[in-house]
């Protein structure tokens, strides 16, 4: 093996060994030390995923956009806002890992107050977009809520708020 491969293997072993602890045993005892993995500390509640200074939670139960937002608020957050491509990819990954599908899901974007003026329900600035081709189109003049993972491109789409979708919540740490 070349030296770079050896170094990579050693670093991996050291990192893995550092994530486990051995409990202390009494001298002369017959107890065998068992390995216990130590959960890395997170500022997010159980079931929430930490990323980029926020905690995210996938809600599998289909709901309307309004009910999904109310549900996220009851959990201490809002429907998720997305501020860059990396966050969008992480949310896609969260959904895929949880469901084994690329499910269409609600995010916190809406233009219900003013057509074409998109805002996030958490009050942050709506700057990042990953609209599908031809979107947002407000088809039928009643598409005012934002879903992700739409179509073949798995991008953003404006959709009817009364449709039932799974959702992604987010809250600050």
Q: What's the pLDDT tens digit per position in 63-94?
A: 999 999 999 999 999 999 999 999 999 999 99
- Given a cut of 80, is residue 27 above it in pLDDT? no
Residues near 140 by beta carbon (within 8 Å), at least 6 away in sequence: 160
Mean pLDDT of the chain: 82
From residue 160, give the alpha-carbon distance in Å to each of 82, 106, 134, 145: 20, 11, 16, 6
Answer yes or no: is 108 within a domain.
Answer: yes
Q: List the beta strands (DSSP E) in 29-164.
A: 36-37, 49-51, 54-63, 78-79, 105-110, 119-120, 143-150, 155-160
Query: Which of 16, 82, 94, 12 shows the shortest CA–CA distance to 58?
Result: 94
Which CATH number characterizes residue 69's domain?
3.10.100.10
Reported as type and span, the H/E element at residue 49 is: strand 49-51
In the chain, the number of structural domains is 1
Domain residues for the domain of 76 are 43-172
User: 65 pairs with which residues across the strands?
Assistant: none
Answer yes or no: is 24 within a domain.
Answer: no
Answer yes or no: is 150 within a domain.
Answer: yes
Residue % of the chain over a pLDDT of 70: 76
Q: What is the model's pLDDT at position 71?
A: 98
């Amino acid at each position: 093996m070349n030296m770079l491969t050896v170094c990579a293997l050693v670093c991996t072993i050291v990192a893995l060994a550092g994530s486990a602890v051995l409990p202390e045993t009494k001298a002369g005892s017959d107890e065998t030390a068992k390995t216990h993995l130590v959960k890395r500390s997170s500022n997010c509640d159980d079931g929430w995923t930490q990323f980029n200074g926020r905690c995210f939670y996938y809600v599998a139960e289909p709901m309307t956009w309004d009910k999904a937002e109310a549900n996220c608020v009851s959990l201490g957050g809002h429907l998720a806002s997305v501020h860059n491509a990396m966050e969008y990819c992480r949310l896609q990954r969260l959904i895929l890992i949880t469901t084994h599908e690329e499910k269409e899901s609600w995010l916190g974007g809406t233009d219900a107050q003013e057509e074409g003026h998109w805002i996030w329900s958490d009050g942050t600035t709506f700057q990042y977009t990953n609209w599908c081709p031809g979107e947002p189109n407000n088809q039928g003049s009643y598409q005012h809520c934002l879903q992700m993972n739409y179509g073949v491109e798995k991008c953003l789409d404006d959709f009817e708020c009364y449709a039932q979708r799974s959702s992604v919540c987010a809250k600050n740490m």
